[in-house]
Amino acid sequence: MSAHIVNVPQPQCAYNASKAGVIQLTKSLAVEWAKRGVRVNCISPGYIGTDLTLSSEALKPLIAQWNAMAPMGRLGKPEELQSVCVYLAGDTSTFTTGSDFVVDGAFTSF
């Protein structure tokens, strides 16, 4: 989601710019590689409660702020990204390329 919004309260302009670049790279490669039968898509997750995130002492104060700001009031779970991955890996997504899937519990919607 960092390609779509300015994350607060943490300063991370270089991180956000690199994520926005990934979306543009996804779109560009999708166009350039389409004739070769290669599909290129990306996933933009919101704040996800991974083991690494949840065990970081430095992130604990931020997690509380993120949850307070989040429409769903919580971090996402890693398994909540699985269905998008399965879709993209499967045969039902053969016409899907150049797409960015935002899975963020509506965090970027306001």
Cβ–Cβ < 8 Å for 102, 84: no
Residue 87: active-site member: no
Please confirm whether the linkage preceding 11 is cis (ω < 30° from 0). no
Per-residue pLDDT tens for 17-69? 999 999 999 999 999 999 999 999 999 999 999 999 999 999 999 999 999 99
Whether the model clears a pTM of 0.85, i.e. scores above it, the answer is: yes
Q: Which residues of 20-37 are buried (b: 16+ CB within 10 A; e: fewer)?
A: eeebeebbebbeeeeeee
Distant-in-sequence, close-in-space partners of 93: CB < 8 Å, separation ≥ 6: 39, 41, 87
| Catalytic residue (one of 12, 15, 25, 109) | 15
